[in-house]
């Protein structure tokens, strides 16, 4: 499949493996991969899962840290933590849904406009493409040839205008699935900092023990999800994990400090 071939090419490049890179770019392999591609955008939801989970851990652990710093007790941590977990998770999911839906509606509206212009103002559209290709460094002959090729088919012509003129690419994700992926990852990952406190409802666990355990679990989850970003960013596994651990640690540190400074207000 195309996605598999691209992943092989990326891994070969990161390893500096010229032979594997050449194999991933073999014309016969590319043709076979293209024929085997059946569509689908499941892999595109990895970003929603990773970033929803990261936000869930950071925000929930910030709440836990703030309450722990204020020494307000386990019950307050559970109340505020769970309220934050589900309210923020729903908010994140709603935002993901509305954002993607708006982007797709904008894309569809621009597509309809470009399709109308291609049908009713073809000379002007050809002139626009020609100028775009000239600005990209093509000479006049090549620019004319590219315009002639792109404008042979109306659908391809409109797509060229969307990409070359407007810089817009279609997003195959569905808003509802994107929202669900964000919500589930936020709630599941955001529950990690609170696991020890939830266990405290069944077994006696002192606050002096619970917070360090929550800190350790959150740190491991932050590093793991930060490292999982490589599926989206293609960056270093360790560097990405440490970076997110640092960001989450700073957020928790600020929350803990604020809670400690204001603990007198909470009685």
* One pLDDT digit (tens) per residue for the chain, 267 residues: 345 655 666 565 666 767 766 665 666 655 565 555 544 445 677 778 888 888 888 888 888 888 888 778 888 888 998 999 999 999 999 999 999 999 999 999 999 999 999 999 899 999 999 999 999 999 999 999 999 999 999 999 999 999 998 999 988 889 999 999 999 999 998 999 899 888 888 888 887 888 889 888 988 888 887 777 666 666 677 787 888 788 877 877 787 787 777 766 655
Please give the pLDDT value at position 1.
Answer: 39
Task: List Cα–Cα distances, 219 to 77, 116, 130, 185, 243, in angstroms.
Answer: 18, 54, 54, 17, 11
Query: How does 151-179 read in b/e, with b if 16+ C-beta sit within 10 Å?
Result: beeeeebbbbbbebeeebeeeebebebbb
Q: List the structure tokens of 94.
A: 């709603």
Please give the pLDDT value at position 55.
Answer: 85
Distance separating alpha carbons of residues 60 and 81, to the nearest angstrom: 6
Distance separating alpha carbons of residues 253 and 237, to the nearest angstrom: 24
Please give the pLDDT value at position 40.
Answer: 45
Please give the pLDDT value at position 86.
Answer: 92
Please give the pLDDT value at position 21.
Answer: 63
Distance separating alpha carbons of residues 120 and 113, to the nearest angstrom: 11
The pTM score is: 0.75
Please give the pLDDT value at position 39.
Answer: 44
């Amino acid at each position: 499949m195309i996605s598999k071939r691209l992943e092989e090419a990326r891994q070969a490049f990161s390893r500096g493996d010229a032979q594997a890179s050449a194999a991933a770019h073999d014309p016969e392999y590319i043709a076979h991969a293209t024929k085997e591609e059946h569509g689908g955008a499941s892999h595109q939801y990895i970003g929603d899962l990773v970033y929803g989970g990261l936000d869930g851990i950071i925000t929930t652990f910030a709440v836990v840290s703030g309450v722990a710093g204020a020494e307000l007790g386990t019950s307050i941590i559970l109340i505020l933590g769970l309220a934050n977990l589900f309210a923020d998770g729903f908010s994140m999911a709603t935002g993901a849904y509305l954002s993607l839906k708006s982007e797709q509606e904008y894309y569809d509206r621009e597509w309809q406009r470009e399709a109308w212009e291609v049908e009713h103002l073809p000379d002007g559209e050809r002139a626009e493409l020609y100028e775009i290709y000239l600005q990209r460094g093509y000479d006049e002959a090549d620019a004319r040839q590219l315009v002639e090729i792109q404008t042979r088919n109306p659908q391809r012509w409109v797509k060229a205008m969307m990409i070359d003129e407007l810089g817009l690419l279609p997003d195959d994700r569905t808003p509802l699935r994107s929202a669900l992926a964000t919500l589930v990852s936020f709630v599941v990952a955001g529950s990690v900092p609170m696991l020890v406190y939830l266990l405290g409802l069944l077994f006696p666990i002192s606050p002096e023990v619970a917070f360090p355990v929550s800190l350790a679990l959150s740190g491991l989850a932050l590093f793991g999800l930060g490292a999982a970003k490589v599926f989206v960013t293609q960056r270093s596994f360790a560097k990405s994990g440490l970076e997110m651990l640092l960001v989450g640690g700073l957020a928790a540190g600020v929350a803990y400090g604020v809670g400690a400074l204001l603990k007198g207000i909470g009685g």
